[in-house]
Structure 1
Amino acid sequence: MELSNKDKAAAIQNSIETSTLEETGLIHPTSYKQHNPNVETGLQAILALHDQMPMHKVYTNVVRQFQDGDYGFVHIDYFLFDYTAAFDIHRFENGVSVEHWDNLQINPRKLNKSGRTMTDGKTKAIDHHKTDSNKKIAQDFVQNILIDGNLGDISKYFDGDRLIQHNPHMGDGVKEFIDVLSEWEKEGKPQKYTQIHKVLGEGNFVLVLSEGYLGGEHSAFYDLYRIEEDKIVEHWDVIEAIPEPDRRKNTNGKF
């Protein structure tokens, strides 16, 4: 039986630890479009990168795996060159990955204010019949609140103050989320979202890929939301700086 797209995405990322990427046959050997700006495009560039990793330390732990049509996307606890939390996305054609996006952030490996890590929490999708409506809720939240700044509407997206938070710099709660963003603004290192690029979902889990600035640094925001009864109840994120064009190793764009 052929693997699902989410199982294929997980298998590709797990093959880093076992050094079996080429053997999996899950990446197109000649047509593999890379959106990680720090890696050249194509399969051979990935294999060359793996050769540079400290393999005695490398591990991959796929914590969550989902799919949305031709896309498989996974949430991972890694050691690559350092302890890392990441999202990886693969687009499949004819059974193999032909395009890849990711976002990586150094994992402090400490508990946040509410005793949570960057990757713990619920892992299994439910409410598959509500995938489209849940994607709309998450997209509308990012656009209306984080981009347009309509904080007066924030109660539409949450059940009171309930928000399970995995960002390492915040604790649980909607008020805490708003307070921290306000504090960062006052400190001159605001988190600003400017554009949504992609929304992927399976059931009650939705991943939103956005562009913006963190403390003035051009950044990519990957936000994963878990939704219950039309309200956001849990949030994970990975934030990564986007290098200037002259420092990028491919011309495919981050998104």
Structure 2
Amino acid sequence: MTTDQETERNRRLVTDGFERFARGDIGVLRTLLHEDFVEHSPGNPSGRDAFVDFITRAPVASARLELKRVVADGPYVVMHYLMTESGGQATAVVDIWRLEDGLIVEHWDVVQPVADADQECRPR
């Protein structure tokens, strides 16, 4: 498989999985994550089963997710999306996934509250 084919396959796997998850299919994670999945976000558990159980109870499981962009390069897929919780709190999220043989083996993330429109930085 060429690097371009690997990149496209991984981008498609993660994007399709994200879309299913965003529609409420949390079980899709069990098909995407390697059994020995490593989570690099402090406080979140590693291991497929422990991570899925954790995510089931996390705010992201019931939030509205709006995908903004996807960047893929070989085994890495980066997703930027807006997560809006039921109370209206908006959070910008960047997930970085590393895949091997069609399964996600590692995850990193960056999470940041979205500023209200009146608090946004504007050029002077």
Q: TM-score range by the shorter chain?
A: 0.7 to 0.9
Q: How much is the aligned-residue C-alpha RMSD, in angstroms?
A: 2.1
Q: How does 1:180-195 map to 2 (within 5 A)?
A: 180-184=54-58, 190-191=59-60, 192-195=63-66
**Alignment match of 2:27 (pick from 133, 152, 156):** 152
3-state SS of the aligned residue for 1:243? Answer: coil
Corresponding residue for 1:245?
117
**Whole-angstrom distance in 2 between the partners of 1:163 and 1:193:** 25
3-state SS of the aligned residue for 1:219? Answer: strand
3-state SS of the aligned residue for 1:199? Answer: strand
3-state SS of the aligned residue for 1:167? Answer: coil
The one-letter amino acid paired with 1:239 is V
**Whole-angstrom distance in 2 between the partners of 1:164 and 1:226:** 10
**Alignment match of 1:225 (pick from 87, 90, 97):** 97
**Whole-angstrom distance in 1 between the partners of 2:75 and 2:28:** 21
1:165 aligns with 2:33: no
TM (norm. structure 2) is: 0.83
1:193 and 1:210 in contact (8 A); partners too? no
The structure whose Rg is larger is 1
Q: How does 1:32-111 map to 2 (within 5 A)?
A: none
The one-letter amino acid paired with 1:205 is Y
**Alignment match of 1:235 (pick from 89, 96, 107):** 107
- Closer, same or farther in 2 for the Cα pair 1:153/1:235, shift >3 Å? same
**Whole-angstrom distance in 1 between the partners of 2:92 and 2:64:** 9
Give the C-alpha shift of residue 214 in structure 1. Answer: 5.6
* Count of residue correspondences: 118
Give the C-alpha shift of residue 193 in structure 1. Answer: 4.5
**Whole-angstrom distance in 1 between the partners of 2:120 and 2:19:** 28
The one-letter amino acid paired with 1:131 is T
Corresponding residue for 2:10?
134
**Whole-angstrom distance in 2 between the partners of 1:212 and 1:237:** 13
Corresponding residue for 1:52?
none
Ranges in structure 2 where 5+ consecutive residues have no aligned partner: none
The one-letter amino acid paired with 1:242 is V
3-state SS of the aligned residue for 1:170? Answer: coil
1:207 and 1:225 in contact (8 A); partners too? yes
Corresponding residue for 1:39?
none
3-state SS of the aligned residue for 1:208? Answer: strand
Percent identity between the aligned chains?
A: 23
3-state SS of the aligned residue for 2:51? Answer: helix
The one-letter amino acid paired with 1:243 is A
Give the C-alpha shift of residue 166 in structure 1. Answer: 0.6
Query: Residue by residue, what CA displacement relative to the aligned partner does 1:179-235 show, whole Å, maximum 9, x if unpaired?
Result: 222333xxxxx1224111100011101100111136842101100000111111110
**Whole-angstrom distance in 2 between the partners of 1:131 and 1:182:** 28
**Whole-angstrom distance in 2 between the partners of 1:179 and 1:152:** 10
3-state SS of the aligned residue for 2:121? Answer: coil
